[in-house]
Chain A
Amino acid sequence: MIFLELILGFLKVGCFAFGGAYGAIPLIRDVVLSYGWIDDEMLTYMIAVSESTPGPIMVNLASYIGSSQAGFPGAAAATLAVVLPSFLIILLVTAVLKNLIKNKYVQAALRGMKPCVIGIIAATGLEMILGNCLETSPVTAVSPQAILLTVLLIAIMTGYRFLRKKKLPSIPLILISACLGAVIYAF
């Protein structure tokens, strides 16, 4: 039953999506790959699309994955499921349990979860970078184009930060990478 799977999968994501915009990505990746809804490649494309379209990444990814599995109703089910936990928790915290967040045991648990999320995000990023530099078809081999692109993009990001003293925003980076990809992979 795909609807039940979507709802359960995205409820899990919604309950544990700590750590801002990027915190949900490893969770969604876990859930999506374990159910086999879409492949890693497509998921990565959708992360980029989510970065470049309005709204929180978590909501965008849930809508897309739901839609890819079961059309509009699937998208609605997944989006509802991913938003429901934070909706209920905020209601609970503001209306009933005003001191829940300040509770020392809750604080201790959160103190453990926050660095864990950072570690998980770092591992996911590193794994994606390394995975991208390998080609899997026809045989597993190092992809020279991917390595060239990785080096170029890191140089652009560091150069921008060095010159402008701030981070290159994600949308320009995605646009630059798209242009470079279209050129480099054309040969």
Chain B
Amino acid sequence: MKINILTELFLIFAKIGFFTFGGGYAMLSMIEDHCVERKHWITHNEMMDITVIAESTPGPIAINCATFTGYKKAGFPGALSATIGIVLPSFLVIWLISMFLDQFLELTIIANAFRGIKIAVGLLIADAALTMISKMPKKPLPLAIMTASFLLMLMINVFAWNFSSISLMLLAAAVSVTVFLTKGSGKPKEGGTGK
């Protein structure tokens, strides 16, 4: 019995991992369809809960959902099977591509196509940021942190400062906790006072 559910978790999540492109939220509807509607592994409410939790924890939302569903259904082994299931297809596809990509790029037309793609990638990232900005709470503190991080990150990259984006995130967390502790919620502040 136990083996069956582990295999099933692995197979369902491998299927979800193989057929969803673009990652993240694209996978959610498929996870909902399989785990809530068809298999009744988790309830719709649990699915909503894990979506909220995923927003607040690192890592792709699809992996968070897989770990959670696997754990709910069959404890630690279940979490492991589901997580391996969702990661394995993309891992194998990329590993195959990595073996051929270099030879592929030696063709002039492909190299030129990739020079075009490079420009699309920059635009996609900027576009994702704009969407996130339009959805974020328009309060002084988040806006100040966002603007300060934007400017600092630009300067870090342009002047090749030895300050990583992780340090920047920890600094922002520290600023936010400090403001929370001092209860000055509406007070404007400078984000770039560290180091």
Contacts and interface: CB of A to CB of B under 8 A. Distances in A.
B53 interface: yes
Given A54-B90, A56-B62, A116-B149, A122 B116 contact: no
Given A101-B56, A114-B142, A146-B119, 18 more contacts: A16-B165, A21-B24, A22-B128, A26-B153, A49-B101, A56-B23, A57-B23, A63-B90, A67-B95, A86-B60, A111-B142, A116-B169, A116-B171, A123-B149, A123-B154, A125-B128, A126-B154, A182-B116
Nearest to B49: A94
Contact of B119 (A75, A123, A177): A177
A48 B114 contact: yes
Contacts of B5: none
Contact of B93 (A16, A55, A101, A171): A55
Contacts of B152: 119
A25 B58 CA distance: 13
Interface size class on chain B is: 35 or more
A162 interface: no
Most B CB contacts (10 A, CB to CB) among A90, A113, A186 go to A90
Contacts of A63: 90-91, 94-95, 98
- Give the secondary structure class of B's interface: helix
A186 B112 contact: yes
B97 A49 contact: yes
B41 to A, nearest CB: 14
B48 interface: no
Given A83-B83, A182-B109, A17 B60 contact: yes
A119 B141 CA distance: 13
B58 A14 contact: yes
Interface in B101-153: 101, 105, 109-110, 112-133, 136, 141-143, 145-153
30 contacts: A16-B58, A17-B58, A20-B60, A45-B118, A53-B97, A54-B19, A56-B23, A57-B23, A59-B63, A64-B98, A79-B91, A86-B67, A90-B64, A109-B176, A116-B168, A119-B149, A120-B149, A123-B149, A128-B125, A129-B123, A132-B119, A146-B119, A150-B123, A167-B131, A171-B21, A173-B123, A176-B120, A178-B113, A179-B113, A185-B112
A181 B115 contact: yes
Contact of A18 (B20, B99, B114, B169): B169
Interface size class on chain A is: 35 or more
Contact of A115 (B58, B83, B98, B142): B142
B72 interface: yes
A184 interface: yes
B65 to A, nearest CB: 9
Most A CB contacts (10 A, CB to CB) among B114, B164, B179 go to B114
A30 B116 contact: no
A112 B172 contact: yes
Contacts of B3: none
Contact of B117 (A59, A150, A178): A178
